Amino acid sequence: MKRQRFDIDASEIDLSILPYSLRRIVESIGFAQAHKLLSALGGTRIRLRRGAQSVEAVEDVIGRDLCRKLMDTLSSDRNPGLRDEAPVITLPKIDKLMTQLRDTAIANAAERGETDASIASRFHLTERWVSKIKLGQSRKRTPSLAARQQRDLFDAA
């Protein structure tokens, strides 16, 4: 299935409803680079140690400077009891970011006056689901149950 492109500014994305690990990645390296990274490596485990093969894979995708910035950000989030070990993180899959992007695009279309039927057709959803998304966007919804139950950014490895 072809990925949809949404006509919205990344600054319109409400980062507060993203899972914590995804939010920290976007805050650290920006939306465009996070999208690029998670499209390439989402769902994989990375050991945050310079010279590790997994870190080299991240560098290949987003470059050395942004990789270092990301490593510094994610390393500062880790449990202080793990100081002697290089933490292992699992990069989230891109679907959480794409869902937020889609939902923001739907809310923007509704604000422009598009009908639920036209929005549903464009995004391949039901009108009922479009209504639920619009309701959630208008309330500045809290994180979903799935987001609250997401595993911690750092695995015990």
15 within a domain of the structure (yes/no) = yes
The residues that bridge with 46 in the sheet, in sequence order, are: 89
The residues that bridge with 155 in the sheet, in sequence order, are: 88
Using the predicted structure, report yes or no on whether residue 60 has a pLDDT greater than 70.
yes
Are the C-beta atoms of 34 and 62 separated by less than 8 Å? no
Task: Determine the distance from the C-alpha atom of residue 129 to the mean position of all C-alpha atoms in its chain, rounded to a whole number.
Answer: 21
H helices of the chain, where?
20-29, 31-41, 53-62, 64-77, 95-111, 116-123, 127-138, 145-148
pLDDT tens-digit series, residues 94-104 = 887 788 888 88
How far is Cα 40 from Cα 61, in angstroms, rounded to an integer? 7
Of 53 and 85, the one with more pLDDT? 53
Using the predicted structure, report yes or no on whether residue 70 has a pLDDT greater than 70.
yes
Task: Determine the distance from the C-alpha atom of residue 122 to the mean position of all C-alpha atoms in its chain, rounded to a whole number.
Answer: 23
Please indicate, yes or no, whether the overall pTM of this predicted structure exceeds 0.85: no
Question: Which pair of tokens denotes residue 149?
Answer: 């139950």
User: Would you state the pLDDT for residue 71?
Assistant: 87
116 within a domain of the structure (yes/no) = yes
Are the C-beta atoms of 157 and 87 separated by less than 8 Å? yes
1 within a domain of the structure (yes/no) = no
Using the predicted structure, report yes or no on whether residue 140 has a pLDDT greater than 60.
no
Domain count of the chain?
Answer: 1
Are the C-beta atoms of 27 and 70 separated by less than 8 Å? no
Pairing of strands 154-155, 45-47: unpaired
In terms of residue numbers, what domain contains 138?
A: 9-157
User: Would you state the pLDDT for residue 145?
Assistant: 47
- Of 140, 143, 98, the closest CA to residue 123 belongs to 98
